[in-house]
Structure 1
């Protein structure tokens, strides 16, 4: 039996159960069906062995922030039926590597990146993508301005190898998550006017997924609350 660093499978199972209970409670309070909410476990900096442990406990949705880790882990556990979500900032020169390993890209924030992901398509299977929205006033942060999301959505919809699924965002540190996610919900509704099937809202992490559920999040990106502290990379 494999183990994550310092984290036995029993402890991992307990963490998963605790998070799932909190998700179910939050969904109930929001008058939502918890089965419609996807819990993505982010395994940043953890070894592929942890993905195997997670899979043994029923996890099928896994997220990675870095292309190198995504490529490496997806290759190491290619025998498992895991759905890989790329949630980090993407460089256009990494588009081919990302597309080969990812089942969904949550961080599409510019037309140039959409074009790159489309250009490297190797088969007829469309790639699920979400528009990352910048909810901060920092232009250096990843994500497109909310006012420009519809224009980017129209561009993505013109690319046959991409399937627009919805929107993604990270709540700003200097704003209450509830208000930030309410703004994201407005953008999500605008995108759905262009593509009714783009129903995903990827929002909410360990510290704010309850507020994200209240705002209609369909996909939660949860890391340390499940995986435990990230290992020392040094």
Structure 2
């Protein structure tokens, strides 16, 4: 695995370096936002995972993530000392998940591994026969192509989906009208060994809904006390 860790606190970087070495990962450390972008843009396809501190000198983590998303869908874990729901939702606009500081190195390692395994699984699935012009999920009003990472509602493309938003939409739409609990979605989208909490699902659902509803009606629905479902049966042509 090749990992880019963007962290201005050198004590944190030095601590994590020991854990990364134990895993035998290829890791580069950047200490401000501008350095991170410079390093990433030299070889944007080489990186498997990015851990990105939200509060950085030169250019903050949100701006860094935004620029990376313009050219790459590489999985990003946002590291933040803030834990309010608004901060989480804001961070997850461009990142796949967040880890709140102070964090346990073992927890971060577990998150990285789970995200990396999920990335490999998605890549393997996408290369198992779904052509660029074919859709592996298709209803009367919705189409999704795992290979091209595109989704359409009423023939309009749902814009700017992050990797996790796409995976979440795929999980829900794969079984229309079935209700998924937050725990089930954590397991399916983040992996069985994901150690996050259910607010992660809620934050992603909120951002995903905003993007879906830019092109069509509300097809991702809340089932109170249970979870979420995808239902386009009531969509008009």
Calculate the TM-score normalised by the size of structure 1: 0.31
Calculate the TM-score normalised by the size of structure 2: 0.30
Q: Which has the higher contact order (CA 8 A, sep 6+)?
A: 1
Compare CA radii of gyration and give the structure with the larger one. Answer: 2
